[in-house]
Amino acid sequence: MKKLLLSLFITALALATNAEDGHQLWLRYQPVNKALVTAEKQSPTIQIAKQELETYYNGANVTLKLDATMPDDDGYRIVANTITARREAGLLYGAFALLRGEKAESHPAFALRLLNHWDNLDGSIERGYAGESIFEWFHLDETLIREYARANASIGINGSVLNNVNASPKMLTTPYLKEVKKIADILRPYHIKVYLSINFATPMALKETKTADPLDKSVARWWKKKAKEIYRLIPDFGGFLVKANSEGQPGPGDFGRTHADGANMLADALKPYKGIVMWRCFVYGANHKGEDRVKQAVSEFKPLDGQFRDNVILQTKNGPLDFQPREPYSAVFDQISKTPNMVELQITQEYLGQSRHLVYLAPMWQEFFSFVKPSSLSGIAGVANIGKDRNWCGHHFSQANWYAFGRLAWNPALTSGQIAKEWLVQTFTSDASFVETMSRVMVESREACVDYMMPLGLHHIFKFDHHYGPEPDGFKADYPLEWCPVYYHQADKDGVGFNRSHTGTNATGQYRDSIARLYDDVKTCPENLLLWFHHVPWTHRMANGNTLWEELQFRYNQGVITTESNYNLWHNRMQQYVDHQRWLEVDARMYDQMQNAREWRDTCLGYFRQFAEP
């Protein structure tokens, strides 16, 4: 009897547990089957919009209308339970908007709103912290992929690059392409196009050509044939994403050709089908080896500006280094004007605590947009934080970064707080105490992370390889210098920071004049970027009168205190608002975050102290 009770208890627990494992993301509407939805036209996309509303909309009947006089984009207009749109996609987005409670006209800021999956063909994910890839080649979980598509559609994402930018040549083989077709078929009604990262040397690696020289005719021919094959399988295939001549990846440089030569050859192959090439500017250690790493992208690409085909877009990370907790924006956005630009953001928190830390990234992305106008960009890509973990993202609060990326890709004018509240209400509860408290915690979390990891413009003092903990004394003689923390903080008895002003590497000179002047002068350089651009004495006076060393200590401590305060709020005040499993899982991670923050502070201050207080 005792055994039976125990087993019943375990079953009940398992059920309760499954119910709130976070898998539903922000899509927790209860079926009400209330509203009737009418539409003039039938189609798979319209069918999804209808079904979402008929199942979940807790209001009056809804009409879906296509209107050819509306702007030619994915936007929608919601007036008195009628959703009007130019495209079917607009009706779908309008349906999700209505479910969220929106009633307005809304148009996306970016035409391209893409997720980049750094998923390898073996199921592993580079910089993935939520389990293996959801794209299980030759064993596709169609239900999971459909859930993925629905979640993306609900926040306006309209493209997925399915594989890692460090791409395998196998990706373009016919067996894999047939699998890609299956995924594309599932995603299509959700208005999501499929893209692929390609290995520039694919034909040579597959031994189908002798070279991968983009100016070699056999190579160009191969790509044209491959494009034809792809589009036969996937008529709306989006295009290629390319990492070339960067961190060991092959590229046109291997054959004495330029990035433009390489990109254009691919662009020509895709052009007949309206496909695009997204060519990454994340290039260093190649033609400009030895130059300050943050300058190399501009050095490489500025001379090529104007030489690209019109279906090539340059894709550049928000900052000039590599997704640090805080970077200045990349000067590529100031220097490339004749080629379309898109920005690559990182949703997965490679350098911001991965899936262990609650760090909400919307404030970081909005900071970027305060320097680079969304209207100057042709698209936006986010490196996904999605894996096969039941809750998709590892940390329940990392779901908010996926959500916020989608919302900002649609409307970068939304505030971080608005998006956080929207997400909290949908994901947890509308209780005001919870939403007010946790939205504040979320909005402050990125600055706290900067504080406990790398305040005042410090950067890249991570442990080698895994990019999680601190290693300020990191130096390996057999590693490229620009992978070593000591190269980036340059701490010595005279001061700390990387001199990138005109007396140093002159990285400041790559910015547009007004910004260049601001950053170049230690007196006007924003203090949150001070050590990015200047080597500054420990006794340097900050605006608040503190010495640099005092302020550095203050910031590290403040970051830790914020994590303690947040953990105290979650652990002792929030339990009542959240189902037990999610509360517990977040709780364990916030505890770790607090401990990690202390480790960051103690390690970094301990290291810098030897120079600051010799």
As a whole number of angstroms, the longest Cα–Cα distance in the chain is 81
Q: Which of 334, 350, 389, 471 is catalytic?
A: 350
Asked about 291 being catalytic, the answer comes back as no
CA–CA separation, 323 vs 335, rounded Å? 20
Query: Total number of residues binding its own copies (CB under 8 A)?
Result: 22
Q: Judged by CB under 8 A, does residue 561 bind its own copies?
A: yes
Tell me the residue length of the chain. 614
Q: Select the span of 58-66, 376-384, 401-409, 552-560 touching its own copies (CB under 8 A).
A: 552-560
Q: To the nearest whole angstrom, how small is the minimum distance from the Cβ of residue 591 to its own copies?
A: 12
Q: To the nearest whole angstrom, how small is the minimum distance from the Cβ of residue 567 to its own copies?
A: 8
CB-wise, 260 or 548, nearer to its own copies?
548
Alpha-carbon distance values, 98 to 90, 123, 147, 476, 478 (Å): 12, 36, 19, 55, 57
At residue 306, φ and ψ (nearest 5 deg) are 105, -15
Q: To the nearest whole angstrom, how small is the minimum distance from the Cβ of residue 22 to its own copies?
A: 22
DSSP assignment string, 6-70:
HHHHHHHHHHHHHHTSSTTTT--PPP-----EEESS--HHHHHHHHHHHHH--SS-EEEEE-TTS
Q: Judged by CB under 8 A, does residue 595 bind its own copies?
A: no
Q: To the nearest whole angstrom, how small is the minimum distance from the Cβ of residue 576 to its own copies?
A: 5
DSSP assignment string, 553-602:
HHHHHHHHHHHHHHHHHHHHHSGGGS-HHHHHHHHHHHHHHHHHHHHHHH
Q: Select the span of 130-138, 250-258, 358-366, 561-569 touching its own copies (CB under 8 A).
A: 561-569
Q: Judged by CB under 8 A, does residue 447 bind its own copies?
A: no
Of 473, 564, 579, 592, the one binding its own copies by CB under 8 A: 564
CA–CA separation, 239 vs 300, rounded Å? 23
Of 81, 307, 558, 595, the one binding its own copies by CB under 8 A: 558
Q: Judged by CB under 8 A, does residue 248 bind its own copies?
A: no
Of 210, 232, 573, 580, the one binding its own copies by CB under 8 A: 573
Query: CB of 169 within 8 A of CB of 176?
Result: no
Q: Judged by CB under 8 A, does residue 572 bind its own copies?
A: yes
- List Cβ neighbours of 135 (8 Å cut-off, separation of 6 or more): 117, 119, 145, 162, 163, 183
Q: Judged by CB under 8 A, does residue 576 bind its own copies?
A: yes
Q: To the nearest whole angstrom, how small is the minimum distance from the Cβ of residue 355 to its own copies?
A: 25
Q: To the nearest whole angstrom, how small is the minimum distance from the Cβ of residue 552 to its own copies?
A: 8
Asked about 585 being catalytic, the answer comes back as no
Of 175, 290, 545, 614, the one binding its own copies by CB under 8 A: 545
Q: Judged by CB under 8 A, does residue 73 bind its own copies?
A: no
Q: Judged by CB under 8 A, does residue 487 bind its own copies?
A: no
DSSP assignment string, 178-190:
HHHHHHHHHHGGG
Structure tokens at 385: 């934080």
Q: Judged by CB under 8 A, does residue 585 bind its own copies?
A: no
CB-wise, 121 or 569, nearer to its own copies?
569
Q: Which of 247, 310, 436, 494 is catalytic?
A: 247
How many Cβ atoms are within 10 Å of 351's Cβ, its own excluded? 23
User: Please, which of residues 422-441 interact with its own copies by CB under 8 A?
Assistant: 433
Asked about 102 being catalytic, the answer comes back as no
Q: To the nearest whole angstrom, how small is the minimum distance from the Cβ of residue 357 to its own copies?
A: 18
Query: CB of 407 within 8 A of CB of 419?
Result: yes
- 498-517 mask for its own copies (x: CB under 8 A)? --------------------
- List Cβ neighbours of 384 (8 Å cut-off, separation of 6 or more): 115, 116, 117, 118, 347, 348, 402
Active site residues: 247, 322, 350
Q: Which residues bind its own copies (CB under 8 A)?
A: 433, 544-547, 550-551, 553-554, 557-558, 561, 564-565, 568-569, 571-573, 575-577
